[in-house]
């Protein structure tokens, strides 16, 4: 099971299933009002745009690796986690006041521009409509999963799992919003680890694996074995994201490489730089963190500091160690071939990716 070939093939299956889901949604929305149709179309474009489809692919790999054979049903059900991602990203962009997502205007900015001449407060209107769009994506995912063609007891357990994932991500997001209110020297590393586990690993790796396993009939111990792989891999994924958010190419990441710095986001990368930096170097970070008016020169100086203090190398090494930990855990999971090979190769991909 070649990683890239499987990702491409499985992603194509998800794309086709998502297209059918939105084909069903469109006439329902059209019967309500043109504005409802416009929102359904906005969610469709956001969800069906370019993407790796990693989460639904993981859900399917776990399902098939544990003996599941209803391919058509798992492909359709796996669209739920892609819709959950849309929900979380749309809301995250509102909270971060982000301008770009996947190289395009974020949904709240799109609505703001679209209605700038029609409403009194276009910025607030854009945020409100994006919140609704995220809600629509989440509820559509829940509905999709509730209608999945699996035994009712498995569907019920999968729905409970889906909702637990969303609850955990909310807690992780609370921490992610609160931590920038603290000076860097007061941010505890254990809280940063919680953000990465609850905000990223829960819905990016561990959660999709659990959902696929549950729909295949797996329970307790098997889910724990999948967590031993999924959690460290999800944290490694976030660590690599943090590096790419500062050092990546905007053309590949699809978002500003300065926003984590100017938004004052608290990451292990920044905390490590602060810990290793001297007083003057810390002042370089202070001038940029949480400062949207920071100059290009100041941002570049902060970026160089993350290199010079060894923070970038430290973060990359930690991500590599976590990916190795995840791969080592695969031997304990009762997954049939070729799933273990795919998941092992995914560990290498996660820390080597450039977007």
- What is the mean predicted confidence (pLDDT) over 82-108? 93
- What is the mean predicted confidence (pLDDT) over 14-32? 96
Cα 226 to Cα 62: distance, rounded to the nearest angstrom: 9
pLDDT above 90 (res 26): yes
8 A C-beta contact, residue 288 and residue 302? yes
**Exposure on the CB side of residue 279, measured as CA atoms within 13 A:** 0
Domain ranges (residues) in the chain: 3-343
pLDDT digits (tens, 9 = 90+) for 203-212: 999 999 999 9
Superfamily name and number for 3-343: Farnesyl Diphosphate Synthase (1.10.600.10)
Burial (0-12, 13-18, 19+ Cβ within 10 Å), 181 = exposed
- What is the mean predicted confidence (pLDDT) over 166-186? 94
**CB proximity list for 326: less than 8 A, separation 6 or greater:** 228, 229, 230, 231, 232, 233, 236, 347
Whole-prediction pTM value? 0.93
pLDDT digits (tens, 9 = 90+) for 294-348: 999 999 999 999 999 999 999 999 999 999 999 999 999 999 999 999 999 999 9
8 A C-beta contact, residue 100 and residue 106? yes
Q: How confident is the model at residue 264 (pLDDT cuts 50, 70, 90)?
A: confident
pLDDT digits (tens, 9 = 90+) for 139-159: 999 999 999 999 999 999 999
Tokens representing 219? 């329970």
């Amino acid at each position: 099971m070649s990683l890239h070939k499987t990702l491409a093939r499985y992603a194509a299956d998800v794309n086709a299933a998502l297209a059918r889901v939105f084909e069903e949604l469109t006439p329902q929305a059209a019967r309500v009002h043109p504005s409802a149709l416009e929102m359904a179309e906005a969610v469709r474009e956001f969800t069906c745009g370019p993407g790796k489809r990693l989460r639904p692919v993981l859900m399917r790999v776990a399902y098939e690796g544990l003996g599941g054979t209803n391919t058509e049903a798992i492909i359709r059900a796996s669209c739920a986690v892609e819709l959950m991602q849309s929900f979380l990203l749309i809301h995250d962009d509102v909270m971060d006041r982000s301008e770009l997502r996947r190289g395009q205007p974020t949904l709240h900015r799109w609505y703001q521009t679209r209605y700038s001449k029609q409403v009194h407060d276009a910025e607030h209107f854009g945020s409100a409509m994006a919140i609704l769009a995220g809600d629509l994506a989440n509820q559509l995912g829940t509905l999709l999963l509730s209608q999945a063609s699996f035994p009712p007891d498995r569907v019920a357990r999968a729905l409970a799992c889906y909702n637990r994932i969303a609850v955990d991500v909310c807690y992780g997001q609370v921490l992610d919003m609160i931590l920038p209110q603290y000076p860097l020297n007061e941010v505890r590393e254990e809280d940063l680890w919680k953000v990465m586990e609850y905000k990223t690993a829960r819905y990016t790796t561990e959660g999709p694996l659990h959902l696929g396993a549950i729909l295949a009939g797996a329970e307790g111990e098997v889910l724990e074995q999948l967590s031993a792989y999924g959690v460290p891999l999800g944290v490694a994924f976030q660590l690599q994201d943090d590096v790419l958010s500062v050092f990546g190419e905007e053309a590949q990441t699809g978002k500003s490489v300065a926003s984590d710095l100017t938004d004052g986001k608290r990451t292990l990368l920044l905390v490590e730089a602060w810990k290793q930096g001297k007083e003057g170097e810390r002042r370089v970070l202070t001038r940029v963190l949480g400062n949207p008016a920071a100059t290009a020169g100041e941002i570049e100086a902060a970026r160089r500091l993350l290199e010079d203090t060894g923070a970038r190398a430290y973060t990359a090494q930690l991500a590599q160690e976590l990916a190795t930990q995840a791969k080592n855990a695969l031997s304990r999971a009762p997954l049939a071939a070729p799933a273990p090979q795919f998941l092992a190769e995914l560990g290498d991909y996660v820390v080597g990716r450039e977007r």
